[in-house]
């Protein structure tokens, strides 16, 4: 085949069915969802679809007043949409790398900005980090997802998972923290000596502290969040 011919480009980049089930990594940065009923996905993440699929923004009232108030308090909220129907749905988020987890009666907390898609059979709730909300621009919130089913999240570049063990706390930059074990509850600590090095996005030396048994996922990038209210 002639080098750089259009047919060569199509052959290299065309969509392929890999038979991986509901969630399929078409590339490291594009998720294919083989939709048969319904899925939750980050608002604005749809880049293409084929078939008969209907999209609607998440109705916060169907999840109860608790979630509605949390969403109002966080400003940007965990902005998700519901995709319903049959077909192939392709989602992505600013070229970020996608990771897929198949939870088996497990739970994970994911930064609200990094949550890409999850099955509706999974339970979810928005958790606001009130202790740090006034420090980081727009606050910091996460979504706790639990049960049995698939969830996809994104990271800038490759994620690093750090194991948390008793007596050996793990400290992370909030702006670089993506996800952690659902049973862990991070604390927030400050260190004046690190003020000029740590938490550059906030101007404060705020660190997340994880203790116990579990894991925390970080990315090699500091993401600064801004509320829609600002």
Structural domains in the chain plus CATH codes:
20-218 (3.60.160.10)
Q: How far is CA 152 from CA 36, 92, 99, 102, 229, in A?
A: 17, 10, 6, 9, 27
Q: Please tell me the pTM assigned to this model.
A: 0.86
Which pLDDT band, with edges at 50, 70 and 90, does 127 fall under?
confident
- Rounded-to-integer distance, Cα 142 and Cα 97, Å: 19
Evaluated on CA atoms 47, 50, 54, 60, the torsion sign reads negative
Tens of pLDDT, residue by residue over 178-226, are 999 999 989 988 876 665 555 454 455 788 999 999 999 999 998 875 4
**What is residue 62's predicted lDDT score, i.e. its pLDDT?**
57
Q: How far is CA 31 from CA 7, 10, 120, 198, 230, in A?
A: 24, 19, 17, 33, 31
Buried b (16+ CB within 10 A) or exposed e, 147-174: bebbbbbbbbeebeeeebeeeeebbbbb
Secondary structure (3-state) at 19: coil
């Amino acid at each position: 085949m002639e080098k750089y011919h259009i047919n060569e480009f199509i052959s290299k980049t065309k969509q392929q069915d890999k038979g991986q089930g509901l969630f399929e990594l078409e590339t490291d940065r594009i998720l294919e969802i083989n939709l048969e009923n319904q899925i939750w996905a980050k608002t604005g993440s749809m880049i293409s679809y084929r078939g008969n699929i209907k999209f609607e923004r998440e109705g916060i009232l169907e999840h109860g007043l608790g979630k509605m108030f949390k969403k109002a308090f966080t400003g940007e909220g965990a902005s998700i949409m519901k995709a319903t129907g049959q077909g192939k749905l392709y989602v992505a988020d600013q070229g970020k790398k996608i990771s897929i987890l198949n939870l088996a009666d497990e739970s994970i907390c994911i930064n609200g900005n990094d949550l890409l898609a999850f099955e509706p059979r999974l339970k979810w709730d928005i958790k606001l980090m009130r202790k740090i909300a006034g420090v980081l621009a727009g606050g910091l919130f996460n979504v706790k997802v639990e049960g049995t089913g698939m969830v996809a999240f994104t990271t800038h570049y490759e994620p690093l998972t750090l194991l948390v063990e008793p007596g050996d706390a793990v400290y992370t930059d909030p702006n670089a923290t993506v996800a952690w074990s659902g049973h862990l509850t991070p604390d927030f600590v400050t260190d004046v000596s690190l003020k000029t090095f740590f938490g550059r996005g906030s101007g404060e030396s705020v660190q997340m502290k994880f203790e116990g048994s579990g894991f925390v996922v970080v990315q090699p990038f500091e993401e600064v969040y801004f509320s829609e209210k600002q």
